[in-house]
A = this chain, B = another copy of it.
Amino acid sequence: MWPFNHLPRAELKRKYGFEPSDSWLAHLRRSSLRVGGGCSGSFVSSSGLTLTNHHCAQECLSRLSTPQHDYTQKLFYAKTAAEERVCPGYEILQLSEISDVTARLQKATHGLAGEAFHTAMRAESARIEKECAQAVGIKCDVVSLYHGGLYELYQYHRYEDVRLVFAPEAEIAFFGGDPDNFNFPRYDLDLTFLRAYEQGRPVQTSDYLSFAHVGLKANDITFVSGNPGSTSRLLTIAQFEYLRDHQLFEALLGLARYRGFLTEYGKRDPEAKRVSSSELFWVENVFKAIRGEQQALSDKAFFEGLRARERDLRSRVAADPVLKSKYGGAWAAIEKAQARQAELAKEYSWIEGSDSRPSRVISPFLVWARQLVRAAEERPKKNEDRLEEYADAQLPSLEQRLFAQGPIKIQFEIAKLAYDLGVLREDLGVDHPFVEKVLGKSSPLELATALIKGSSLQSVAGRKRLFAGGKAAIAASKDRMIQLALAIEPDARAIRARVEEEIEPVITKNAELIAHARFDVYGMNSYPDATGSPRLSFGTVRGWRENGKLNSAFTKLGGAFERATGRDPFALPRTWTEKEERLDKETPFNFVTDNDITGGNSGSPVVNREGEFVGLVFDGNIHSLGGAFGFDMAQNRMVAVDARAIVQALDKVYGADRIALELTGSAELAAPSTKP
């Protein structure tokens, strides 16, 4: 997961016998995209055709769906350009520049601690991002690498007109469903084609990846470009223990219960199933991912390895008086802040946090209301004084999400919020002042119904009105959800202030110290933790050994037919069963490599030495989940759709010649020419 500008070229050449040229790197970097918030993708034609995963386009598919046409489950294929449909609220980002801003930030925070440190860091970041994002269509992020060892400014080109071109049936995109998720062998066509538009026309670009004429085979070198979201390999033991004993554990309990709720909710009737299925999909996916992480940290030998690494660094620091005086206190400081975080975590997650609240429910109504209330308060302030997510550089993305069109699933949202409020009451306790403030004498279902039914937030126009109206409009609003958000805002700001004063700056500052200690002791011998910024990973096509048995690196199209039972989640779509005879069953379908990836790499292109597209990342094996805390090349594997299967499916199953031709010039060209 090397940043594109910090590749250890000599080492990579020694290891893989390949040294990418500057132009090879720049082309791959510019062809790689960040898609729909947390995913990756790439341009695969000169007309802005974008390939990503089916599961990365869930939100788009869900927003375009109606009770009559459920595109989260069924095929979508725009036979002509005119049929391509706008994905509401979607953006695509393309990295254009990286520059080092470490010195600027260090200067701004020099000698500061606590809240002052945090405020200075935030203000200077906001200033840098705002200076960078002067033109329309540019997004800028200050990225912290090595936990503050380096700060860099990433500038992106932003496409905000993204359209849906092709999505296969969920049955084949996610064949094997949750039981097969994070497992291999796999037989999934987990893809969606989108297209980036500007000024109402498809983007024209030379920065795209050609589909390879020669397919991959075992032991080939592979490159994966994408946006790995988050790893935590450089944390301290105190932080790992907190994750293992509290954070991951609580997350799993919350997800397990929410999952039970969602599974059964979907059985109310077909409409309930339709509106809840993408939420269930995510919950099952996240549950399995976190469970894998938790299991890795619960493995005594693995954890002992983490301990040994920290011991080594700390003993080297302790043995050198200069290092000791600079860095020696950092670990204890983090441990103390971590203990404080443990005390505040539960209240913080309910009162200020949203995606980590123990119910795991995110109510769009509550999110909108809170964003509107905060935006009204923050926008009149000077840019550098605002809460960071309301800084000028962040506002375009915020507005796009806030004003995204899409059907509102009122009944489902009420059920979710009622569930959420029930968990709140249980978790903080009936007599907690925040619970009394929120619930009063209402039952969770009564309150959820009152907050959502007839809310003015249902319509984009209603949200725009409140956004435009600012503080006066918010104060005058009769909307009960807005009133609730207003009522809890002082509590939310109070607990956030405590965290931003007592915890975050202590951890940020001392993690910086540890990062520098690591540079001083070992040099820059490893890549930084993933932070959602673009990275390049090197690897090789190969299976792995498990219980004494070697798993092959490839599956074939024919395997899907053998595994099929005709029952969900092992039912193939009719398009496939009807075309079974036309398919070359020897065609490679999915494959694994030892590239180091993590969540956020979904949709990443796999390319060969020639920089050509050979596969589409969509998953990792179960061992790869431990990669959050340490990469094990013997066991961790990335899972991808083979480019040859993509072309076969488009051509033989779906008759989607328009896309196949756009990818390959001719469908024939990319037929399997090398058997793995």
A194 to chain B, nearest CB (A): 31
Number of copies: 2
Question: Is A268 at the interface (CB under 8 A from chain B)?
Answer: yes
CA distance A639 to B101 in the complex (A): 61
CA distance A521 to B259 in the complex (A): 51
Contacts of A430 in B (CB 8 A): 176, 179-180, 570
CA distance A268 to B430 in the complex (A): 27
Residues 252-307 (chain A) with a chain B CB within 8 angstroms: 252-254, 256-265, 267-268, 298
A154 to chain B, nearest CB (A): 38
CA distance A518 to B506 in the complex (A): 47
Contacts of A443 in B (CB 8 A): 565, 567-568
CA distance A261 to B267 in the complex (A): 10
Given A256-B256, A258-B260, A260-B257, A446-B567 contact (CB < 8 Å): yes
Question: Is A220 at the interface (CB under 8 A from chain B)?
Answer: no
Given A249-B249, A268-B268, A429-B179, A442-B263 contact (CB < 8 Å): no
Bits for A437-475, please: 1 = Cβ < 8 Å to B, else 0. Answer: 000011100100000000000000000000000000000
A286 to chain B, nearest CB (A): 14
Contacts of A441 in B (CB 8 A): 565-567
Question: Is A425 at the interface (CB under 8 A from chain B)?
Answer: yes
CA distance A565 to B443 in the complex (A): 9
Question: Is A198 at the interface (CB under 8 A from chain B)?
Answer: no
A247 to chain B, nearest CB (A): 13
Question: Is A11 at the interface (CB under 8 A from chain B)?
Answer: no
CA distance A352 to B523 in the complex (A): 54
CA distance A180 to B430 in the complex (A): 8
Question: Is A97 at the interface (CB under 8 A from chain B)?
Answer: no
Chain B CB within 10 A, most for which of A264, A298, A430, A442: A264
Contacts of A425 in B (CB 8 A): 179
Question: Is A341 at the interface (CB under 8 A from chain B)?
Answer: no
Contacts of A245 in B (CB 8 A): 298
Contacts of A257 in B (CB 8 A): 256-257, 259-260
CA distance A568 to B446 in the complex (A): 11
A50 to chain B, nearest CB (A): 33
Question: Is A632 at the interface (CB under 8 A from chain B)?
Answer: no
A291 closest partner in B (C-beta): B253
Question: Is A426 at the interface (CB under 8 A from chain B)?
Answer: yes
Q: Could you say which of B261, B429, B566 contacts A260, with CB atoms under 8 Å apart? A: B261
Contacts of A260 in B (CB 8 A): 256-264
CA distance A268 to B266 in the complex (A): 11
CA distance A567 to B446 in the complex (A): 10
A431 closest partner in B (C-beta): B183
CA distance A425 to B178 in the complex (A): 10
Contacts of A442 in B (CB 8 A): 567
A245 to chain B, nearest CB (A): 6
CA distance A556 to B415 in the complex (A): 36
Bits for A495-507, please: 1 = Cβ < 8 Å to B, else 0. Answer: 0000000000000
CA distance A124 to B133 in the complex (A): 83
CA distance A419 to B570 in the complex (A): 17
Bits for A169-184, please: 1 = Cβ < 8 Å to B, else 0. Answer: 0000000101110010
Contacts of A566 in B (CB 8 A): 441
Bits for A302-333, please: 1 = Cβ < 8 Å to B, else 0. Answer: 00000000000000000000000000000000
Contacts of A176 in B (CB 8 A): 430
A577 to chain B, nearest CB (A): 15
Q: Could you say which of B183, B253, B264 contacts A261, with CB atoms under 8 Å apart? A: B264
Contacts of A249 in B (CB 8 A): 249
A440 closest partner in B (C-beta): B565
CA distance A261 to B262 in the complex (A): 8
A413 to chain B, nearest CB (A): 15
A645 to chain B, nearest CB (A): 21
Contacts of A568 in B (CB 8 A): 443
Contacts of A268 in B (CB 8 A): 267-268
Residues 558-593 (chain A) with a chain B CB within 8 angstroms: 565-568, 570
A615 to chain B, nearest CB (A): 24
CA distance A267 to B178 in the complex (A): 25
Q: Could you say which of B253, B258, B426 contacts A252, with CB atoms under 8 Å apart? A: B253
CA distance A393 to B443 in the complex (A): 50
A571 closest partner in B (C-beta): B443
A285 to chain B, nearest CB (A): 13
A260 closest partner in B (C-beta): B260
A198 to chain B, nearest CB (A): 44
Contacts of A267 in B (CB 8 A): 268, 415
Contacts of A262 in B (CB 8 A): 260, 264
CA distance A570 to B268 in the complex (A): 27
Contacts of A252 in B (CB 8 A): 253
Residues 172-223 (chain A) with a chain B CB within 8 angstroms: 176, 178-180, 183
A185 to chain B, nearest CB (A): 9
CA distance A326 to B242 in the complex (A): 40
Contacts of A180 in B (CB 8 A): 430
A134 to chain B, nearest CB (A): 49
Contacts of A298 in B (CB 8 A): 245
Q: Could you say which of B265, B426, B567 contacts A264, with CB atoms under 8 Å apart? A: B265
- Establish whether residues B265 and A426, one from each chain, have CB atoms under 8 Å apart when the complex forms: no
CA distance A259 to B258 in the complex (A): 9
Contacts of A261 in B (CB 8 A): 260-261, 263-264
- Establish whether residues B183 and A429, one from each chain, have CB atoms under 8 Å apart when the complex forms: yes
CA distance A446 to B571 in the complex (A): 14
CA distance A253 to B179 in the complex (A): 17
CA distance A446 to B568 in the complex (A): 11
A252 closest partner in B (C-beta): B253
Residues 393-430 (chain A) with a chain B CB within 8 angstroms: 415, 419, 425-426, 429-430
21 contacts between A and B (CB under 8 A): A176-B430, A178-B426, A179-B430, A183-B429, A245-B298, A249-B249, A256-B256, A258-B260, A259-B260, A260-B260, A260-B261, A260-B263, A260-B264, A263-B264, A264-B264, A264-B265, A267-B415, A430-B570, A441-B567, A442-B567, A443-B567
Known: A257-B259, A257-B260, A268-B268. 4 other contacts (CB 8 A): A183-B429, A260-B264, A443-B565, A446-B567
Closest 4 CB pairs of A and B: A260-B260, A264-B264, A260-B261, A256-B256
